[in-house]
Structure 1
Amino acid sequence: MRVVATGMLVVMAITYAIARSLQHLHPAWGFVRAFAEAAMVGGLADWFAVTALFRHPLGLPIPHTAIIPRNKDRIGDTLATFLRDNFLIPKVVARRMKRVDVAGAMGRFMSEPTGLNSRLREGVARLVANMLESLDQERLGGMVKQAVGQRLRDLDVAPLLGQALTAAIADGRHVPLIDGIVRWAAKTLEANEQLIRDMVHERAGSIMRWTGLDEKLANAIIDGLLKMLDQMAADPEHPLRMKAEEGLETLARDLQADAEMQARVARIKAEILDNPAMARWIEGLWEQARRGLLRLARNPDEAMAGRFGDFWKQVGHSLLTEPRLRMTINRFARRAAVGATASYGDGIVRLVSDTVRGWDAHTITGRLENAVGRDLQYIRVNGTLVGGLVGVTIHAIDVLL
């Protein structure tokens, strides 16, 4: 367009020269000369005006030229103010966000695994895989192990155990535990009958051993214990079972209220966490999780075809079909956007202003000229044509008068 506008100016100059030399042959050449002369004036005036926006015409330091380079800082401040006053006001953002269905977009993305969503998913998966592979695994594993260990150390385990035990007793979930202990005790007793017989034999006197009473005593002890365990297994109201339940209830209360018991549990927890085997277990958990993430990231289609994919699609379907859930998520998104605007709006404005201030004059001139330069060259073309028409009109009035 710059070539076209400049070419028209050159054509008008040539036309003016020809018409001026032939004006004496016919009055019509006067009109041609007037058109070309005024067109040159209009074209030159608009060329000067357009050029003065971006640079000094012909390199001459004429006042009030190179307007944009001289005022780039003020332009940046004005642009930032315009952005803040018209876009980064919480009230404006809230009004715009009311028309944005964030939950619906999320639901469609999650429930449609093909097309653009698939390409986007693959791109995100590659990004996640590259990030995981680029991280220092030894250092990151140490950080994860330290963070998990610190969270476990800060966790007050005793009250949680007490609450869990209380809930289990209230629901009767402790009964299988007592049954299991009784069965384990019976099996242990049967497996160690000879040990009991040897202990009774060693502690019995010579007279009991000579008469064989030690064997009878051992058998009586074993039979009595087995009978007691059988009775405990068969009778839920057995006194010893009731004692065991009372002991569990007492333990649950102590875990929640007794400082000494809580300190004892804390010491046991600290000893477990200080064990090197525990540290290796935590580190193994992180490594297993990392390998799982890498496997998922490298093959997202396979992952999306499994249970994770079914879960992902189900969540997307819920977002599309549950009005209350959509309303909640959209409300959250709107509040988050408004909060971000209120918190970071001034920072965004300063970023725009500082960025424009940081540009050199050549950069901002080039960017603005590339953005609006075509329309500005049309101004030159129009100025040439309008100037020519004005010149013909003035010449016609002069001839007629």
Structure 2
Amino acid sequence: MKAVALGALLAMAVLFAIAFPLQADIPAMAYVRAAAEGGMVGALADWFAVTALFRHPMGIPIPHTAIIPRRKDEIGRNLGEFVETEFLRADVVRDKLESTPIAARVGEWLDDPDNARRVAAEAAAAAAGVLRALSDDDVRDVIESLAREHLIEPDWGPPLGERLERVVDSDSHRPAVDLAIDTVSAWLHANRASFAGLVSRRLPSWVPRVALRLVDDTVYNEAVAFVDKVRADPDHQARHAIDGYLSRLAENLQSDPATIGRLEDAKSSLFDSPRIRSLAADAWGTAKAGLLAALADEDSDLRHRATETLGGIGARLRTDDALQRRVDSWVTDAVVFVVERHRHDIASVITETVERWDAEDTTRKIELMVGRDLQYIRLNGTVIGALAGLLIHTIAHAVLG
């Protein structure tokens, strides 16, 4: 297009060179000469105007030329301010969002199983990336700190005593007691041989073998009979003894310093620092490995549930008018809030980006963006100049002769 515009200028110059010497012999050539003269003036004037926007014409630092590279930063600031004041106004953003059925479109898109799988896959990839980026040592430190703060450092006695007291008062411990008695009874019936010699081996050697066997059988039978009686009788004395023990334990855990101290000592020995860190490391390692495997496997239950959940959300958003209105309202309010609070920061992206650009690169970018239209300006200038020259010559000839 630059070559075309230059060609038009050269064509006017050739016409002028031909018409100028012939106008004395051929009067009509005066009109051609005037048109060519005006065309050259228009072409040169518009070439200067177009060039002056982007650089110094012919490299000569004429004042008020090379406007874009010289005022690049100012143009960036003005553009940023224009976007901030005209496009990022709360009323403009709200009007646009309120006229757009955001929730319905999102719901329609998510309701497609392929799209739901895509979103689930992208979310899984993002989550896996976050998991891999996390420092294992930092996560272990956090888990250890949380465990120590919320699990180890608080006293266990009073809370456990209070809960145990509630359990006993509501008789909620009865199923556990029944289970324990059933377990003991089943073990006794299945392990008669364990009682062989349990008592008899402690008796003198001169006691007859029959008496020794009778003693062991008696002990076993009495134990079985006792457990069976406790099992069959909900009001058995042994059950009351268990209830009394649990009640006293609940009270001691809340108010007896000795009992509380023993529990705290046991807790401290169970959860010493190396063990806590080991538990934190094991917990994090297991959780991380399991999550990464589930996120990477397209057929994992986690991925299927995520896809189904997204599809369900899409179906609801597509069909539930009330939900659509709520979601549209939430999105609109959230975006307007962000725009009102941070519109200057958002618009500053334009200003700062333009400021970082090199002046020559900026000039080249804008010139290429405008592109062919710049050369059409030169062509139009050539044509308009030619017509103006012809009109001026015609009027002057008609008026002045």
TM-score band w.r.t. shorter chain: 0.7 to 0.9
How far the C-alpha of 1:104 sits from its partner, in A, is 3.5
Deviations 1:90-123 (A, max 9, x none): 5544443334444444433433133x77677767
- Give the corresponding residue for 2:61: 61
Residues 120, 303 of structure 2: 8 Å contact kept? no
Cα distance, 1:33 vs structure 2: 1.8
What CA deviation, in whole Å up to 9, does each residue of 1:120-155 have, x standing for no partner?
7767777777x489x58xx84444444434433333
Change over 3 Å in CA distance of 1:346–1:288 after alignment to 2: same
**Are the aligned partners of 1:200 and 1:217 in contact in 2 as well (CA < 8 Å)?**
yes
Mapped partners of 2:270, 2:329: distance in 1: 43
Q: Name the CA shift for 1:254/1:127 in 2 (closer, same or farther; >3 Å).
A: same
Name which of 384, 391, 394 aligns with 1:393. 391
Would you say 1:289 and 2:284 are equivalent positions?
Answer: no
Shift in Å, 1:371: 1.4
Cα deviation, 1:167-213, whole Å, max 9, x if unaligned, reads 98899875543332221121233455555564444666899x67988
The AA in structure 1 aligned to 2:149 is D
Distance 1:267 1:173 in 2: 29
Number of the residue aligned with 2:345: 347
Determine the C-alpha separation between the residues in 2 that align with 1:233 and 1:346: 77
- Cα distance in 2 for partners of 1:80, 1:112 equals 39
Letter in structure 1 aligned against 2:22: L
Q: How does 1:80-91 map to 2 (within 5 A)?
A: 80-91=80-91
Give the Cα separation in 2 of the matches to 1:312 and 1:364. Answer: 44
SS in 2 for 1:155: helix
Asked if the contact 2:116–2:311 (Cα under 8 Å) also holds between the matched residues in 1, the reply is: no
> Percent identity among equivalent residues?
32
| Displacement of 1:5 | 2.0
Q: Given the alignment of the two structures, is residue 152 of structure 1 paired with residue 147 of structure 2, yes or no?
A: yes
8 Å contact kept, 2:294–2:302 = no
Distance (whole Å) between structure 2 residues aligned to residue 251 and residue 345 of structure 1: 64
Q: Distance in 1 between matches of 2:255 and 2:27?
A: 116
Could you say if the C-alpha distance between residues 378 and 221 of structure 1 is closer, same or farther in structure 2, counting changes exceeding 3 Å? same
Tell me the C-alpha RMSD between the 2 structures. Answer: 4.4
1:241, distance to aligned residue in structure 2 (A): 4.6
Flag the 1:350–1:397 CA change in 2: closer, same or farther, 3 A.
same
Question: Are the equivalent residues in 2 in contact too, given 1:145–1:286 (CA < 8 A)?
Answer: no
**Counterpart residue number, 2:177:** 178
Q: Output the amino acid matched with 2:147.
A: L
Question: Any conservation in 2 of the 1:43–1:384 contact (CA below 8 Å)?
Answer: yes
Paired residue for 1:96? 96
- CA shift in 2, pair 1:101/1:177, >3 Å: farther
Q: How many residues matched? A: 391
Residues 310 and 373 of structure 1: CA distance in aligned 2, closer, same or farther (over 3 Å): closer
1:6 Cα offset (Å): 2.0
User: Take 2:91 and 2:165, find their aligned partners in 1: how far apart are those partners?
Assistant: 51
Q: 8 Å contact 1:53–1:67 — kept in the other structure?
A: yes
Retained in 2: the 8 A contact 1:272–1:278?
no
- The CA deviation at 1:385 is 1.6
Q: For residue 278 of structure 1, what is the aligned residue in structure 2?
A: 279
> Relative to structure 2, which stretch is displaced further, 280-289 or 355-364?
280-289
Query: 1:320-331, aligned counterparts within 5 Å?
Result: 320-331=318-329
Which residue is 2:3 aligned to?
Answer: 3
Whichever residue aligns with residue 274 of structure 1, its letter is R
Contact 2:117–2:307 (CA under 8 A) maintained in structure 1: no
* C-alpha spacing 1:359/1:280, structure 2 compared with 1 (3 Å): closer
Alignment match, 2:78 = 78
How far is 1:48 from its partner? 0.9
- Asked if the contact 2:39–2:382 (Cα under 8 Å) also holds between the matched residues in 1, the reply is yes
Shifted more, 6-15 versus 227-236: the winner is 227-236
Give how far 1:18 is off.
1.7
CA–CA distance in structure 1, aligned partners of residues 349 and 201 of structure 2: 90
Q: When the two structures are superposed, what TM-score results if normalisation uses the length of structure 1?
A: 0.76
Q: Distance in 1 between matches of 2:94 and 2:171?
A: 52
SS of match in other structure, 2:371:
helix
Q: Any gaps of 5 or more consecutive residues in structure 1?
A: none
- Using structure 2 for the length normalisation, give the TM-score: 0.76
Residues 219/117 of structure 1: CA separation in 2 closer, same or farther (3 Å cut): closer
Deviation larger for 43-52 or 300-309: 300-309
> Contact between 2:125 and 2:295, CA under 8 Å: does it hold in 1?
no
Q: Can you give the 5+ residue segments of structure 2 that lack an aligned partner in the other structure?
A: none
